[in-house]
Chains A and B, each alone.
Chain A
Amino acid sequence: MSTVAMDLNLEKIGTDYDAVASRCARRVVICAGTGCMAGGALKVFKAMHEEAKAQGISLEINLDFEETGDRDGLLTKSGCQGFCQMGPLMSIEPDGILYCGVKPADVAEILRKTFRGGELVERLLYKVPATGQVCKGHGDIPFYTQQKRTVLAACGSMDPEDVREYIARGGYAGIRKAVLEMSDEDICKSMLDSGLRGRGGGGFPTGRKWDLTRIQPKGKKYIVCNGDEGDPGAFMDRSVMEGNPHAVIEGMMIAARAVGADEGYVYVRAEYPLAVARLRRAVKAAEEIGILGEAIFGSDFSFRLQVMEGAGAFVCGEETALLASIEGKRGMPMPKPPFPAQSGLWGKPTVINNVETLASVPLILSHGPAWYRAMGTAKSPGTKTFALTGHVANTGLIEVPFGATLRQIVFEIGGGITGKDGAIDNDAFKAVQIGGPSGGCLTREHLDLPMDFDSLTSIGAMVGSGGLVVMNQSTCMVRIAKFFMQFTQNESCGKCVPCREGTKQMLQLLDDITEGRATEETLPLLEQLARNVKLGSLCGLGKTAPNPVLSTLKQFRAEYEAHVHRKVCPSRECKALVTPEIKADRCKGCTLCARKCPVGAIEGERKALHTIDASKCIRCGVCVEACKFNAISGI
């Protein structure tokens, strides 16, 4: 291995790759992130390859280094391009085209028109919902133009399974610099100077974490990458691991060099099979060309990496539980101190960083701390990826500099709020849940709040993992709080009393509220309990579990009170609090609902208004499905 490493010439690999790639006139990249794959991206890929052959277009799927002739194009898959809502996505360069919602049936036309004729297939282009403006590609789609894709930059345009392309784009130059030109202290200092803060939720300065590990006595140390992204609705880390696995590996190597570690683990949740496969392939490729292994770049630095699958517990995203899990123990958090930097994996000093954090590291080393600091805010430099979902026109994966406002994200990148019927209705904006089950709720008054670590913390929310769930006026906030509470109580490891028992009882109290059993005592008790769970829990999971409840209670107290005191759900989402009724202006008296009702709760003459007997109704919803006139509500 060492002889290979000595011969390792990144420039040569890069220029060889570029030379071969430049012989292909076009580059077609089909998004093979999990979302687009589910939409049939692989079928599109296959169809494209076969149809090109049929049409006599030389569209390669493997770069042939022996071949010298020119080619019509190179077809590759990429990681997530972010615009998941519009998938499967296909980008064509250098034309700057992005085709959305591509189906296998479309590829013949794409090849004929775009490849042969240089024309656009207009029906596959993105149209801005609000204005109807047709966009050609990344250059003019507001979803992309408003972003600052930095960590995600390579994710959607590069073949994540080809280490040569990563190198051709400057990859592994960061670790080479770290190994050949920098001392361990220099690297830590660079990180400190860049102001990089951990993207896992806490926002702890990465340079400080590394330095704390570096100053531990020499000996065995570990680097662990936390890829156990478990928040519902969050998929930033998955996208980075799938789309740019070598950046994660390089980040871990730089961390290892900085602290004196020679072994690393990437802990990925088992629900991310594609990320696991791509990382394993990337590790193998890096080993084969001598980047991972012994005597890296001819130095005394060695590094070995293993990819480990988690077993599906949310709590394993907590660092001490994650370490226990790698050790083969039950994933339960341990009291800190000692911190992992002092005593981590198998009792050895350990750096644990989040995927996004590590993927930022090579960029900082290549471009310098000042470049990084130029993005974002003074205390939260750099960019942040968010997973944007909910009642918003453009859902997907985005990246913005810290300090961008919620307004920019929701209305410009997100393209505005969708109302009950799916059409854009910006007045219907109600709230954004940020940071998943650990985070809080942002409302209209926070639309111009800069999104950074400290501003969000100051209002009781947090960046957290970076999930953004947008909600319109038809959303019941008590049910949102209950949804997240259901999640955390289910994912509590069961170790400490406040989290194990407290979340269970909080959920029970929320159940009481949404099901009409709440009394005057319920809300004060819920608040008291929430406060104590927050203060008393052992780890971050329990300490943040009450946040959705506390923050919705703060922002939408009247909604809770309506449920408790008047037994009314203002959004009409809590079935138990809504009386089922048939609207007089819509009912045509077709009798279908009465015939379908399994308990005979609906009565009415033909062509006359029907009525529901609420005492008989079991709220099964059969009538709602049956009614062709949308006349039944409250079920």
Chain B
Amino acid sequence: MTAEMNLTIDGLQVDIQDEKNILEVIRKAHIELPTFCYHSELSVYGACRLCMVEVEGRGLVAACSTAPEPGMKLRTQTPQVRELRKMNIELLLASGNHDCPTCGKSGSCKLQSLAERLGVTKIRFKAPIPERPLDTSSPSILRDPSKCILCGDCVRFCDEIQGIGAIGFTHRGSEATVAPAFNKGIAEVDCVNCGQCAAVCPVGAITVKSDIEQVFAALGDPAKTVIVQVAPAVRSAIGEAFGLPNDTFSTMGRIVSALRRLGFHKVYDTSFTADLTIWEEATEFLQRKEKGGKLPLFTSCCPAWVKLVEHDLPEILDNLSSCRSPQAMFGSLAKEILPGKLGVKREDLVVVSVMPCTAKKFEATRPELGQVGAPDTDLVITTQELARMIQDAGLVFEELPVESLDMPFGFKTGAGVIFANSGGVSEAVVRYVAGQLGEESPAIRELRSDRSRRTLELPTRLGPVRIGVVYGLAEAQRLVKEIQAGESDLDFVEVMACPGGCIGGAGQPVTHSDKVRGQRTQAIRRVDAALDLHCPQENHYVKEIYSERLETPNSHQAHHLLHTHYQSRRRIQGEGISLSEVTGVPKIPVSFCVGTACHLRGAEVLLKKVMACVEEEDLGERFDVRATFCMEACDRGPTVKVDDIVLHGATVESVMGLIREVLVEKVE
């Protein structure tokens, strides 16, 4: 360490390594500079102005957007810096409906804790607070714009990490809000319910939609028998809600006893159906590989990913595994088997699931996963909500006895548990196909890395199998594009929407620390390591179900209970309006997007010019010029499609060039 690579923070020398900004250097020096809008995984936004510090010779700067320079002298605690910080908090408290005791985020709210930390005890500002109605449209999340502080974390997460952009800013000044397009309900746009907006929201503006009251109501209904499944990731994180370490053994046992005390008739483990999923999915994969079916096979456990494919990638719907998710398989089996076993009527059995995930709430409402008016999974609550139920009931979690799950659906191998981690589904498939490889094997090490994308090759009896693992839907979309462009050649791709997989789900207890994800991952690995069985095929209760009910994986009966189908959710599926003369001869379609964005970029003028050129070159016989609706590439317009080739930023020359090319190709 040379003297030149130092800077001074409040008189203390700190070395500069590869930090992108002085905020990271300051935090490295154990000073927790407050921020709302800074996330190491997101772009720098610079809006909350809480991280402002004094740099000698430069005055006040925002630490998040200032690069460290050797010799800089920073001060983080001057009277001016402190005043600015406190005033920003006071302004935010005055800006909306920040009524802490009744807020869903109370206790895990950053604004609340910073107000406390910085000693903001009075709000002197009195401008009227604008009314902003709740958005209750989504089954997964609740938006309360009256609490929004416009840090933009949700907007950037949705756009940058998930590649969706379901929400954005509208209006300006003090009327600025975060909203879906045209101020629609969030459920009416292409939100996939991953809930990460709620997970990053530092305040109570986006929260997980609570279904606690419905669960309490079912538990209180003497006519109902209420059973519950607990997803593998729940055990890795619920302790956080009670200030306990992520120690999973006693945690799962306490979850069981808490659920029994809350009145659940039976307590099961979703890891059981995760084992079952591997039997089905691995068989589906091997069959496709053997018989030359559509590959790569994408996993379908993650409901956010599935919905994204339905919205934006309908062309790969056939590549999605037809397997239902473990939650859905559980619901279907429970409704099929348990009424007989427990001696209750099907309609009196209530299946509740506890999930780390907000998208599971949406998945449970899918009409194809259940009978008319009777979903297989009746109610879904998240880890957060379970913790709240436990608190509501006054149960002292850490003092609860450790109890065992009910059989048979409480039985699992380690393969079912590691579903909670990104790479876990793939590892379970690997165990199913190739048996358990050692922890030190290169394949397993690659699978267990925490990068958002991993690829590996596994030798099997069918030859080498190339596996891809991604988390974050933007990364998944990039991978799909590469596959479609022939740049990436994979046989099996596991996709999880949330960072780190389900352990990073938005239903987990709210955390503002970036260390927690790793702790949860390790907790799941410890459970796997401690179990006796690790390969899905070793689950004898699964075997029993096959022999009693399902015959073999992918059998007709298995398909009926354990598989599903998907639908395109493209907003506009119209064919477009033909502008050419109809002659009856099949023509090559030339489609011009005349949606708003392309129109503004001159699509209509372009269309007219190309039509004139087509006529001039006497190509009208061969080409059918059409006006179509939005092709959803608004940022790259005008968009024109000639046959199947899409052209962005189209000009008369480029369209005509392509038309001629296609013509030559067709003639040949």
Known contacts A532-B83, A536-B84; A500 and B173 CB within 8 A of each other: yes
Q: How far is the CA of A85 from the CA of B333 in the complex (A)?
A: 85
B176 within 8 A of A: yes
A521 within 8 A of B: yes
> Is the CB–CB distance between B150 and A500 below 8 Å?
yes
> Is the CB–CB distance between A497 and B168 below 8 Å?
no
Known contacts A508-B125, A538-B47; A493 and B91 CB within 8 A of each other: no
Q: From the candidates B46, B87, B149, name the one contacting A529 in the complex (CB within 8 A).
A: B87
Of residues 416 through 441 on chain A, the ones whose CB sits less than 8 Å from some CB of chain B are none
- Determine the chain B residues whose CB is within 8 A of the CB of A521 once the complex forms: 124
Of residues 419 through 442 on chain B, the ones whose CB sits less than 8 Å from some CB of chain A are none
Known contacts A500-B174, A504-B127, A536-B60; A335 and B46 CB within 8 A of each other: yes
- Determine the chain B residues whose CB is within 8 A of the CB of A536 once the complex forms: 49, 52, 60, 84, 87-88
Of chain A, the residue at the smallest CB distance from B634 is A328
- Determine the chain A residues whose CB is within 8 A of the CB of B127 once the complex forms: 504-505, 507-508
> Is the CB–CB distance between B91 and A501 below 8 Å?
yes
Of residues 112 through 166 on chain B, the ones whose CB sits less than 8 Å from some CB of chain A are 124-127, 149-150, 152
- Determine the chain A residues whose CB is within 8 A of the CB of B176 once the complex forms: 493-495, 500
Of chain A, the residue at the smallest CB distance from B50 is A497
Chain A: minimal CB distance from B74 (Å): 16
* Stretch of A484-492, A580-588, A595-603 lying at the B interface: A484-492
> Is the CB–CB distance between B125 and A535 below 8 Å?
no
Q: From the candidates B44, B47, B94, B126, name the one contacting A496 in the complex (CB within 8 A).
A: B47
Chain A: minimal CB distance from B70 (Å): 17
Q: How far is the CA of A335 from the CA of B45 in the complex (A)?
A: 7
B615 within 8 A of A: no
B172 within 8 A of A: yes
- Determine the chain A residues whose CB is within 8 A of the CB of B597 once the complex forms: 328
Of chain B, the residue at the smallest CB distance from A504 is B174
Of chain B, the residue at the smallest CB distance from A539 is B46
Of residues 14 through 58 on chain A, the ones whose CB sits less than 8 Å from some CB of chain B are none
> Is the CB–CB distance between B174 and A489 below 8 Å?
yes
A302 within 8 A of B: no
Q: How far is the CA of A492 from the CA of B47 in the complex (A)?
A: 13
Of residues 488 through 540 on chain A, the ones whose CB sits less than 8 Å from some CB of chain B are 489-498, 500-505, 507-508, 512, 521, 525, 528-529, 532, 535-538
Chain B: minimal CB distance from A520 (Å): 12
Q: How far is the CA of A460 from the CA of B65 in the complex (A)?
A: 27
> Is the CB–CB distance between A501 and B84 below 8 Å?
no
Known contacts A335-B65, A505-B94; A494 and B124 CB within 8 A of each other: no
Q: From the candidates A492, A497, A538, name the one contacting B92 in the complex (CB within 8 A).
A: A497
Q: From the candidates A330, A493, A529, A532, name the one contacting B173 in the complex (CB within 8 A).
A: A493
Interface size class of B (residues with CB under 8 A): 35 or more
- Determine the chain A residues whose CB is within 8 A of the CB of B18 once the complex forms: none
> Is the CB–CB distance between A538 and B46 below 8 Å?
yes
> Is the CB–CB distance between A532 and B84 below 8 Å?
yes
> Is the CB–CB distance between A535 and B126 below 8 Å?
no
Chain A: minimal CB distance from B37 (Å): 9
> Is the CB–CB distance between A313 and B172 below 8 Å?
yes
> Is the CB–CB distance between B169 and A498 below 8 Å?
no
Of chain B, the residue at the smallest CB distance from A337 is B67
Q: How far is the CA of A529 from the CA of B94 in the complex (A)?
A: 13
B171 within 8 A of A: yes
- Determine the chain A residues whose CB is within 8 A of the CB of B150 once the complex forms: 494-495, 497, 500
Q: What are the interface flags for B47-70 relative to A under an 8 Å C-beta threshold, 1 for contact and 0 otherwise?
A: 111101000000110101101000
> Is the CB–CB distance between A503 and B87 below 8 Å?
no
> Is the CB–CB distance between A494 and B172 below 8 Å?
yes
- Determine the chain B residues whose CB is within 8 A of the CB of A323 once the complex forms: none
Of chain A, the residue at the smallest CB distance from B128 is A508
A315 within 8 A of B: yes
Of residues 79 through 125 on chain B, the ones whose CB sits less than 8 Å from some CB of chain A are 80, 83-84, 87-88, 91-92, 94-95, 124-125
- Determine the chain A residues whose CB is within 8 A of the CB of B67 once the complex forms: 337
Number of interface residues of A (CB under 8 A): 37
Of chain B, the residue at the smallest CB distance from A493 is B172
> Is the CB–CB distance between B635 and A330 below 8 Å?
no
Q: How far is the CA of A225 from the CA of B174 in the complex (A)?
A: 29
Of chain B, the residue at the smallest CB distance from A328 is B635
Chain A: minimal CB distance from B96 (Å): 10
Q: From the candidates A335, A495, A532, name the one contacting B44 in the complex (CB within 8 A).
A: A335
A332 within 8 A of B: yes
- Determine the chain A residues whose CB is within 8 A of the CB of B65 once the complex forms: 335-337
A334 within 8 A of B: yes
> Is the CB–CB distance between B62 and A335 below 8 Å?
yes
Of chain B, the residue at the smallest CB distance from A517 is B126
Q: How far is the CA of A497 from the CA of B60 in the complex (A)?
A: 15
Q: From the candidates B62, B87, B175, name the one contacting A528 in the complex (CB within 8 A).
A: B87
Q: How far is the CA of A500 from the CA of B171 in the complex (A)?
A: 12
- Determine the chain B residues whose CB is within 8 A of the CB of A497 once the complex forms: 47-50, 88, 91-92, 149-150
Of chain A, the residue at the smallest CB distance from B130 is A504
Q: What are the interface flags for A347-387 relative to B under an 8 Å C-beta threshold, 1 for contact and 0 otherwise?
A: 00000000000000000000000000000000000000000
Chain B: minimal CB distance from A565 (Å): 19
- Determine the chain B residues whose CB is within 8 A of the CB of A494 once the complex forms: 150, 169, 171-176
Q: How far is the CA of A562 from the CA of B87 in the complex (A)?
A: 27
Chain B: minimal CB distance from A68 (Å): 41
- Determine the chain B residues whose CB is within 8 A of the CB of A508 once the complex forms: 125-127
> Is the CB–CB distance between B175 and A535 below 8 Å?
no
Q: How far is the CA of A332 from the CA of B176 in the complex (A)?
A: 11
Of residues 434 through 465 on chain B, the ones whose CB sits less than 8 Å from some CB of chain A are none
> Is the CB–CB distance between B173 and A503 below 8 Å?
yes
Q: How far is the CA of A535 from the CA of B79 in the complex (A)?
A: 13
> Is the CB–CB distance between A502 and B124 below 8 Å?
no
Known contacts A492-B173, A535-B80; A498 and B88 CB within 8 A of each other: yes
> Is the CB–CB distance between A491 and B91 below 8 Å?
no
Q: How far is the CA of A528 from the CA of B83 in the complex (A)?
A: 9
- Determine the chain B residues whose CB is within 8 A of the CB of A528 once the complex forms: 83, 87
- Max chain A Cβ within 10 angstroms of own Cβ: one of B95, B125, B169, B635: B125
Of residues 456 through 478 on chain B, the ones whose CB sits less than 8 Å from some CB of chain A are none
Of chain B, the residue at the smallest CB distance from A502 is B91
Q: How far is the CA of A191 from the CA of B169 in the complex (A)?
A: 40
- Determine the chain A residues whose CB is within 8 A of the CB of B59 once the complex forms: 535
Of residues 15 through 66 on chain B, the ones whose CB sits less than 8 Å from some CB of chain A are 44-50, 52, 59-60, 62, 64-65
Of residues 458 through 505 on chain A, the ones whose CB sits less than 8 Å from some CB of chain B are 489-498, 500-505
Chain A: minimal CB distance from B47 (Å): 5
> Is the CB–CB distance between A535 and B169 below 8 Å?
no
Chain B: minimal CB distance from A437 (Å): 13
- Determine the chain B residues whose CB is within 8 A of the CB of A337 once the complex forms: 65, 67
Chain B: minimal CB distance from A318 (Å): 13
Of chain A, the residue at the smallest CB distance from B83 is A532
Q: How far is the CA of A315 from the CA of B169 in the complex (A)?
A: 15
Q: From the candidates A489, A496, A525, name the one contacting B48 in the complex (CB within 8 A).
A: A496
Of chain B, the residue at the smallest CB distance from A327 is B635
- Determine the chain A residues whose CB is within 8 A of the CB of B49 once the complex forms: 496-498, 536-538
> Is the CB–CB distance between A489 and B173 below 8 Å?
yes
With A505-B125, A521-B124 given, can you name 9 additional A-B contacts, CB distance below 8 Å? A493-B173, A494-B150, A495-B176, A496-B46, A496-B49, A498-B87, A498-B88, A503-B173, A505-B127
Could you list some 18 contacts between A and B, CB below 8 A?
A313-B172, A328-B597, A335-B44, A335-B62, A490-B173, A491-B173, A493-B173, A496-B47, A496-B48, A497-B48, A497-B149, A500-B176, A501-B92, A528-B83, A528-B87, A532-B83, A535-B52, A538-B47
**What 8 A-B pairs come out closest when comparing CB atoms?**
A494-B176, A335-B65, A335-B46, A501-B91, A508-B127, A492-B173, A504-B174, A505-B125
